[in-house]
Amino acid sequence: MKKKMMEKGFAAVICTAGVLAFSGAALAQESVSLPLDEAGAETIALADAGVEEADATRLRTMREREDGEDVVEVKFSYGDNSYEYMLRESDGMILEWSVEGRAVDEAVAELTLTDDGAAKDAQKGDAAEAQAETDPSAEVQTDAGSPDGSAVVRTTVDGTELIGYEEAVRIAAEDSGAAEAELVKIKFEYDGRFYDYEVELREGRAEYEYKIDAQTGEIVEAERD
């Protein structure tokens, strides 16, 4: 199933989905021992993606040193999508996540991506709200900041308020002018200083790549192929 990025109701769908954010990974973080080992990293990443270990394929985990920090990288495939996670070893925080493939619109990640994902994750809604109330690193709130009047999901990561991924996708789609673009990749990255979303869209043979500041919503880089 391919979702038209600008179809009617898209903003409402992703905002509803975003409210369910952080439930799986946040709860999984509480169940693993720290500092993080490979098994613990896999538990958090798979919970965040809403994927059972038995259903994941090409599961690979490795320890790395990134920007002066010890991290654990987890990569796996599920259905038509490939997932990549980088977690901080000391506390299990997700520093990066990405979903890429032919069915990104059906995936679940740190921010649930579609109504399909929200349906699969609906049972976690109450847990997500409870977690948001007690865990400052997993807060989710909405406001009426979007130009089209819809609510904008905002999240707090490591004490910093960010725009939700869905707002980054909206910004990229609007700037591209591609009314029927397909979302083919979404990535979140925190390097210890900057928080960014990378959004890749495709319409026919045209490809659009954006890097968007996750704090301000400013387009940092834009490229069309």
pLDDT of residue 156: 66
Q: Is residue 4 part of a domain?
A: no
Please give the mean pLDDT across all residues of the chain: 75
Q: Which two tokens stand for residue 158?
A: 């490591």
What is residue 161's predicted lDDT score, i.e. its pLDDT? 84
CA-CA distance, 144 to 135, in Å (whole number)? 23
CA angle 170, 78, 202 (to 5 degrees): 35
pLDDT of the residue at 200: 96
Question: What integer pLDDT is reported at residue 14 of this predicted model?
Answer: 36
46 within domain boundaries: yes
Handedness of CA 156, 210, 95, 54 (dihedral sign): positive
How confident is residue 124, by pLDDT bands cut at 50, 70 and 90?
very low
State the total domains in the chain. 1
Q: Is residue 59, in this structure, part of any structural domain at all? A: yes
Share of the chain above pLDDT 70, in %: 66
Q: Cβ distance 111 to 104 under 8 Å?
A: no
Residue 192 lies in a domain: no
122 in any annotated domain? yes
Please name the residue that has the structure tokens 């990974």. 25
Mean pLDDT score, 136-156: 45
In terms of residues, how long is the chain? 225
Q: Is residue 224 part of a domain?
A: no
Does residue 102 lie within any of the structural domains? yes
Structure tokens, 83: 């997932």
Under the banding of pLDDT at 50, 70 and 90, the label for residue 193 is: confident
Q: Of all residues in the chain, what percent carry a pLDDT higher than 90?
A: 45
Q: Is 60 or 92 the better-scoring residue by pLDDT?
A: 60
By residue range, what is the domain housing residue 24? Answer: 10-161
Q: Is residue 225 part of a domain?
A: no
Instruction: Calculate mean pLDDT across residues 126-138.
Output: 43
Residue 125 Cα distances to 17, 110, 131, 156, 218, angstroms? 10, 13, 10, 17, 30
Cross-strand bridge partners of residue 160 = 157
